[in-house]
Amino acid sequence: MSCEIQIDKISKRLENRNILQNVSLNIEKGDTIVFFDTGDGEKSALIQLLCGELTPDQGKIYFRGEQLGKYSEIPKDVGIAIHPMGFIREFNGYKNLKYIAGINGTIEDKEIYESMRIVGLKPESRTKVGDFSTRMLQKLSIAQAIMERQDIVIFDDLFTIENIKNHRELRKIFRLLKERNLTILLTSEKKEFIDTICDRGYLLQNGRIKEMILKEK
């Protein structure tokens, strides 16, 4: 298997606290990885570093052997949904994705339709995003992250206590994405929310990282 992401001895200090210290990890192609923490924000900080929103104080991050830039460079061919997406409330789901897809101009309608159907949204629906439920917004965010044929996808805070009613459907979506051999990075508040679909799980605590035992699938 090939190493898709290499986290090489990264450290990060935020708000006068060493939030990550000398963290290293190799992620292989097709892995589904989940990160946990104890409520001090380590997992979200690591996700932001992987997405180029934060820069390590020390260490390096590589995507497919290419070092992530030093100045908030977004990694190439990576689908990201780590904040509430700024969708246009007056547009329906399809029109929002069509607008976003127009920025790079690399896909056609069929890819947008496919991504929406994978997550269980109807491209033909006229429902405006402003009327979407939280569940539907999460699905649209996932569709946005996969529609341009990204083979690495990164998501933060999908599996929380607040949206626990949506977890079963989200797990079903991610099983479908695993079948496409995507490399998937997720965070979760508790391992029982998601451990049955992940290959490995890691706890970030006191700046350190350690592997956790997940439930057998």
Count other Cβ atoms within 10 Å, centred on residue 181: 10
**Under 8 Å between Cβ of 59 and 10:** yes
Number of helices and strands (H, E) in the chain?
Answer: 5, 10
Segments forming the whole domain that contains residue 93: 88-149
Answer yes or no: is 140 within a domain: yes
Q: Are 51 and 155 in the same domain?
A: yes
**Which residues of the chain are under the pLDDT cut of 50?**
none
Q: Are 163 and 203 in the same domain?
A: yes
- Which residues have C-beta within 8 Å of that of residue 178, sequence separation ≥ 6? 30, 32, 184, 197
Q: Are 156 and 67 in the same domain?
A: yes
What per-residue confidence (pLDDT) applies to 76?
80
Domain count, the chain: 2
Structure tokens at 54: 């934060």
What per-residue confidence (pLDDT) applies to 74?
76
What per-residue confidence (pLDDT) applies to 71?
55
Q: Are 175 and 143 in the same domain?
A: no
* Chosen domain end from 149, 181, 196: 149
Name 14's bridge partners. Answer: 17
Q: Are 145 and 155 in the same domain?
A: no
* Chosen domain end from 122, 149, 176: 149
